[in-house]
Chain A
Amino acid sequence: MDVAKELLGGNMLAGGRAIRWLDDRDPRGAEVLASVFPHTGRAHIIGITGPPGAGKSTLANAMISQLRSRGRRVGVVAIDPSSPFSGGAILGDRVRMARHTLDADVFIRSIGTRGQAGGLSRSAHDACLILDAMGFDVILVETVGVGQDEIDIVALAHTTVIVGLPGLGDEVQAIKAGLMEVGDVFVINKADREGYEATRQQFELMLHLRAEGRQDSSLHWSPPVLRAVALNDEGIAEIIDATEAHAQFLRDNGEFERLSGQRERAQTLGLMGEALLQLALEKTDPDVLAAVEAREIDPYAAARLLLRSL
């Protein structure tokens, strides 16, 4: 099978295989990527992030339905944590999206973080490129359940949706610091539960403060705060209205391409860093490391020594 050619024609087996190769850092993955890269850059990438259990997968499921009713083809990249000890993982997000399994215009892929911090996996970007090349119009990226500073999704997505939930002051606190600064669309999910109104007020207040801090910004997108009961598909049309309006806003300002370009640039630097480290580790004198372990030399001096010998 010519994987690159087949996936450009929409073949699921080929698309799945390409993502596997890239995730595994199999050299065939880079070859496929080289052939399909010219066919990427079109898809609207939407990040879905928020605390564990906020309803990200359930919301993604509802968003897929809404996007499909508008004729969009939808790719999904759902990330769950890998065990730092065994490297294994249980990837369960797609269970909540099972109703779309047999829709030929939906492709769902689960990925483990495989040692990457920041809420994404090291191959999330690659998976998006493959789905983009396969012709999916919108790609939903569900991050792992995050705390405050796991916001790598912002560098990957054009539009970041922050999913919060009512009540539990702590969770709002957790969302406050990191996530409030980066969201483009805010969703208070599980609005069927107690405490929705209070949470909405808190969100609005924090967004007001955020806007005041950015008065000099020439671009004006004011993030909406939306109400949803993802489990019952409530409030979902408004969410897709907002993500589509945001995409339009980005396009009108030339930001859509700029963000995509920045993303490829960051990916390039990340890959360089990975390769350089690999190269350096291969050339590292084990005696110097042994000397650090024996406390004969301090880590700073050892690192300097090792770098000089490269």
Chain B
Amino acid sequence: MPQGTERPLRVLLAKLGMDTHTVGITVIAHALREAGMEVIFTGLKQTPAMVATAAIQEDVDVVGVSSLSAGHTRSLPTLARLLREAGAGDKLLLVGGVIPEEDQPLLQEAGVDKIFTMGADTRDIITYLNEWRAAQQAGHS
């Protein structure tokens, strides 16, 4: 393969807290892999500090958090803050899962870039990521 042409988007997928449903996140991981992205799994029962540290060590472009249990109104702002404090606030922070409508403004204000609610099509996520990346690259050149 020619030098320098393959720079896959790197995406960390994480589950915060006690949520142990893995089906959704596994489906998304496979879809992203098919779309040419590198997906890094961190495992279950992660704390915001663990997700932030892994995102930094892995130097991902995107942090995707699946949230199927309550608690996200505290854990997601903490994660966004930890990333910012470590100088990694430029990473795209996505959330997927069950997010009540009334929580969404709070999350977006706290630094969550995009929310995909339950039942979002994986194709929409991929399109969103590709467009985000294209915009980034246009901005940098």
Contacts and interface: CB of A to CB of B under 8 A. Distances in A.
Contact of A86 (B10, B34, B86): B34
A20 to B, nearest CB: 4
Contacts of A39: none
Interface centre among B37, B41, B88 (most CB of A within 10 A): B41
Contact of A102 (B1, B37, B49, B86): B49
Interface stretch (B51-59, B68-76, B95-103, B111-119): B51-59
Given A17-B59, A20-B59, A94 B4 contact: no
A226 B31 CA distance: 40
Contact residues of A: prevailing secondary structure: mixed
B139 interface: no
Given A90-B39, A98-B46, A278-B3, A12 B53 contact: yes
A291 B54 CA distance: 50
In this complex, the interface size class of chain B, counting residues with CB under 8 Å from chain A, is: 20 to 34
Contact of A94 (B8, B29, B30, B41): B41
B2 A87 contact: no
Contacts of A115: 1, 6
Interface string A90-113: 111011101001100001111010
Given A24-B7, A89-B38, A16 B57 contact: yes
Contact of A108 (B1, B4, B32, B57): B57
Nearest to B31: A88
A101 B39 contact: no
B43 interface: yes
Interface string B11-43: 000000000000000000110111111111111
19 contacts: A12-B53, A12-B86, A13-B59, A16-B57, A82-B8, A87-B36, A88-B35, A88-B37, A88-B38, A89-B39, A91-B38, A94-B58, A101-B50, A101-B54, A102-B53, A110-B58, A112-B38, A115-B6, A278-B2
